[in-house]
Chain A
Amino acid sequence: MPAVVEMLGITKRFNGFTANDNINLVVEKGEIHALLGENGAGKSTLMNTLFGLYQPEEGEIRIRGERVKITDPNMANRLGIGMVHQHFMLVEPFTVTENIILGMEPRKGAKIDIEKAERHVQELSDRYGLRVDPRAKIEDISVGMQQRVEILKTLYRGAEILIFDEPTAVLTPQEIGELMEIMKNLVSEGKTIIFITHKLKEIMAVCDRCTIIRKGKYIDAVSISKTNVDELASKMVGRHVTFEVDKTPAHPKEPVLQIKDLVVEGNRGASALRGLNLEVKAGEILGIAGIEGNGQTELIEAITGLRKVKSGSVLLNGKPLENRKPREIVESGVGHIPEDRHKHGLVLDYSIGENMVLQTYYKSPFAKRGVLRYNAIYEYARKLIQQFDVRTPSEFTPARALSGGNQQKGIIAREVDRNPDLLIAAQPTRGLDVGAIEFIHKKLIEQRDAGKAVLLLSLELDEVLNVSDRIAVIYEGEIVGIVDPAETDHDQLGLMMAGGGKGGK
């Protein structure tokens, strides 16, 4: 029997930029096939080609052994191909069923037969264990549920081959577990799944085979039973990747950041920080562990001048910072890799080059007497792009067009190169692939080794444990304990983060 999907020698170019270069992808019926690659490797492009959104310049596609030219998504639907996109395409005020039948409404005379549709949706939902309420409104349901609606949408249209484009990026760990179950149900009912991700654990857990692409090129296709995480990672990144962060012991010196009895109000007026005390020394990485919403965001905003300090003090090298203007704080030596890179980190409509001088554009050599020196700006940007391996077509490319990992590398380049005494990194690796994560961890440690103070905030316990030299646990706006990462583990930290620990102070 021929493979259900064969993409052979696919090449896709965008204005001369080759996003897919002679890629092969062969998927057998009934398997979960992973498509693995770093951010920007060309995974979405390849799948959009299979789904008929793009036409390849070269190569052929066979579905169930038959050569086809997929001209548009409707044709893909007719061939039994369905796609769940990275960004959902749902109409918020509509119900689940209304969204699913949109464009192919069953009719009774001139009226839409909504009851029939609801019954059908319910049937499908039960059959594959999706647990979706056909009458719920999209705006009322969780992101995970919305994703299952997208899955139902493809099933309703009779999809046999399902493409999931990074479905787990938006899910909580528990929802990820549920999705994995659903995927297993789907293949046991004879469906075929192409699963895009860069999270290796997920691939090991559910996939049968895996095709790896790198920088637009086909690298290999392997059976999951015959491989391991290390092999997959090095194939994806093109070199050996270490999961252990390797670093020498820290040599902390004088305190750089000293926070005493800090009180800050949250957005709803209640105190988000209630007398917080913290110290970060030169030459150490202090990690903050905590469950989201315990004051981490407010702490960083207070240090960087984005939020008012009600009482208490923040000292940088002994000088008070509280309630200073953000620019003064930046200039006195604070670098900040913000939690939300799209909201705070970048002006997405500016070129990546212009973003490199977001805090320094008014200074020499980037400006003279109020006039920008674009030559100097772009020369500097080129230097940083090269040093920090930011993959971008050029320094003139809008930041918006870069992949998440490369946007983040750009921000890190900017913040690190300003050479701040205190570097704040808030969730610096969220949503990035292993290659980028490793790179960013290395940069943080380099800063530490150069004698800077690094304050790391992460919701990923592994990251806090691997990168930090000391861990401060935050709970309800206070530091409830400071622990040595070598002498603690997930369980102890988890307990403290839930407010149940007593750890030494």
Chain B
Amino acid sequence: MISSMQTSRWNAILVPVLAVILGLLVGAVLMLLMGYDPIAGYSSVFQGIFGNSYFIGETLRAVTPLIFAGLAVAFAFRTGLFNIGVEGQFIVGQLAAAWVGASWDLPPGLHAAVAVLVAMVAAGVYAGIAGWLKARLGVHEVITTIMLNYVALFGSNYVIRTMLKGATERSKDILPSASLQSEWLTNLFEGARINWGLLLALIFVLISYWLLMKTTTGYELRAVGFNPHASEYAGMNVPKNIFLAMLVSGMFAGIGGATDVLGVNGNMAISAGFTGIGFDGIAVALIGNNNPFGVIFGALLFGGLSFGADNMQRVEGIPTESIQIVISMVIYFVAASSLIKWLLGKFRRRQGV
């Protein structure tokens, strides 16, 4: 049985890795069919990610918000909730950070910390609305979070336009004291916009894992997600835990939004459409098997491939869509992981392992 536990742990790593390889193979076949050279294509993607330290820095910049979005989705999922509202919570986090960053006056460093904190609380409470509606009235979180996404998008546009308007169609720039950028990092990566947000993301991966797996709160949250009836029987407060799960999930999303404003852009744009980061978080969580550490892997893969694809289009003229297809195939193969597990099982049996 110990050996079977090891097998399942191995599978948790092997399945996504194999899914990536299969996804890349399908992408290669596709490029061949379209008359491109897949080896050249992939090496230009590789170049686009690792080619120089600017590219590496920019890739990590793109990965940072995906880690937060992935964490938010994964956390909710592990507690039995499907948070489609990460997108909206991300936007609320952006807005809160932009507001605090531009209009409050605090010492450097502290200002950034307070802005992150306010964004975290605001997005948490925002997600908490959906949690409360589910816990008290039984309204399904998928419906409420989708609606709240739109409220966040149009609401934030309105707030920026009426209260926070800067020079162009953007919010006022944040004060330097609230910035998460670091000259040292920027120089190290030759001007890339990598920032302290990445460090925050890694810290919150640890926090998320610790909270979920090592605390009594996490024990309750997971129990309620798996089996609310047994949790009630055992004396846990089921509505409270549903609310709390959404609150925490939204907090992760909110910090992601804050790092985007405070670390990358310095302001928030009035936008006609969604950022897409919240939705990408669903894919990231899926690739990462809803495990906080797996989320890092999912975000690196997703962010890396999307970012590297631009270079491929520039250098080889292969449309970035082919990389979108590779990503979709990876997600598909992860989702169809039972297929891969089955293949692995066959393989192991033949090897007599």
Contact = CB atoms under 8 A, between A and B. Distances in A.
A457 to B, nearest CB: 16
A16 B235 contact: no
B231 interface: yes
Contacts of B104: none
Given A370-B215, A372-B214, A338 B233 contact: yes
B225 to A, nearest CB: 9
A16 B215 contact: no
The contact size tier of chain B is 20 to 34
Interface stretch (B3-11, B13-21, B329-337): B3-11
Nearest to A325: B235
A249 to B, nearest CB: 34
Contact of A347 (B4, B227, B235): B227
Interface string A346-374: 11111000100011011000010011101
B230 A343 contact: yes
Nearest to A346: B230
Contacts of A358: 223, 230, 234
A73 interface: no
B3 A15 contact: yes
A97 interface: no
Interface string B255-271: 00000000000000000
Interface string B211-242: 00011111110110011011111111100000
A371 B215 contact: yes
Contacts of B232: 306, 326
B327 to A, nearest CB: 29
A201 interface: no
Contacts of B230: 343-347, 358
Interface string A318-331: 00000001111111
Interface in B146-195: none
A15 B7 contact: yes
A393 interface: yes
A345 B233 contact: yes
A88 interface: no
B137 interface: no
A354 B219 contact: yes
B208 to A, nearest CB: 15
Interface string B295-312: 000000000000000000
B33 interface: no
A346 B232 CA distance: 11
B contact patch SS: helix
Given A350-B226, A362-B216, A372-B216, A394 B2 contact: yes
Most buried by B among A14, A304, A344, A393: A344
Contacts of A362: 216
A396 B216 CA distance: 18
Contact of B227 (A330, A348, A359): A348
Given A16-B3, A372-B216, A372-B219, A326 B233 contact: yes
Interface string A134-169: 000000000000000000000000000000000000
B1 A15 contact: yes
A377 to B, nearest CB: 10
A346 B234 CA distance: 9
Nearest to B210: A371
Interface in A392-430: 393-394, 396-397
Interface of B: 1-5, 7, 214-220, 222-223, 226-227, 229-237
Given A325-B235, A347-B230, A348-B227, 19 more contacts: A15-B4, A326-B235, A327-B236, A330-B235, A331-B235, A343-B227, A344-B230, A347-B227, A361-B216, A362-B216, A367-B216, A370-B216, A371-B216, A372-B214, A372-B215, A372-B218, A372-B219, A393-B1, A396-B5
21 contacts: A15-B7, A16-B1, A306-B232, A326-B232, A326-B234, A327-B235, A327-B236, A329-B235, A330-B235, A331-B235, A344-B230, A344-B233, A348-B227, A349-B226, A349-B227, A358-B230, A358-B234, A361-B219, A361-B220, A371-B214, A394-B1
